[in-house]
Amino acid sequence: MVHASLRRLGPVDGGAEGVLQGLRIALGPSGTMLMVLAADDDEPFDRLTSPADPDVGTLAEVFRQHPDAAVNDNPACRFGAWGPAAAALLEPQPVDDYYGPGSPLARQTEHGGAVLRLGADIDTVTLTHHAEYLADVPDKQRAQRTYVRADVGEVLIESLDDTDGIAEWPPGDYFSQILRDFIADGHAVVGPVGGCTAELLEARRFVEFATSWMETHLG
């Protein structure tokens, strides 16, 4: 799973397409790449044609349009993938609680996946949302939001609150702190890629760490 900032990564031959091809070479023919796409909700959601949410970055939109990329069909959080395990990772995805059990994030973790951060913002490890479902934290905050689909109109989707968090943490953004602590404890592979510092996180280890962190600090 890749989170990337092309601006921080710096100039790359071929631009965003060059980055994707480099990742494909690194993965090899047996590797599968997963990205969060979500959607730009200025217009009704269509699985195949809605642009990726600008907040997830330019690379995600270029990835979405790639002919080898498959996408799933959740307006709250659409994922895209390419590679031999793409279909198995993407489907099925729950309509509600789309980061929880049975989600692409759950399968990524169960199958020994990893997260590669290429200069992305410190609070953008989407896998942290999966840990929120697993953590034994009392009175988790939930949220409902209405989305407009191109095929059926308005749909109401409910999940843990993935905007303001499942609980208050007075120092501020616990997503960022979890990643900082994970890296500080030596669990990530860290090194330079282009103009940024990149981190490779083992998904299962990160989810276990984030779950324990939340139970300690949010419980």
Domain, as residue range, for 75: 2-217
Residues sharing a CB contact under 8 Å with residue 170, sequence separation 6 or more, in sequence order: none
How is residue 122 written in tokens? 């410190």
Count of domains observed in the chain:
1
The residues near 187 (Cβ < 8 Å, ≥ 6 apart) are 201, 202, 205, 206, 209
Structure tokens at 219: 């419980």
Q: What is the pLDDT along the chain (219 residues), one digit of tens a residue?
A: 999 999 999 999 999 999 999 999 999 999 999 999 999 988 999 999 999 999 999 999 999 999 999 999 999 999 999 999 999 999 999 999 999 999 999 999 999 999 999 999 999 999 999 999 999 999 999 999 999 999 999 999 999 999 999 999 999 899 999 999 999 999 999 999 999 999 999 999 999 999 999 999 997
Phi, psi of 33 (to 5 degrees): -110, 135
Whether the model clears a pTM of 0.75, i.e. scores above it, the answer is yes
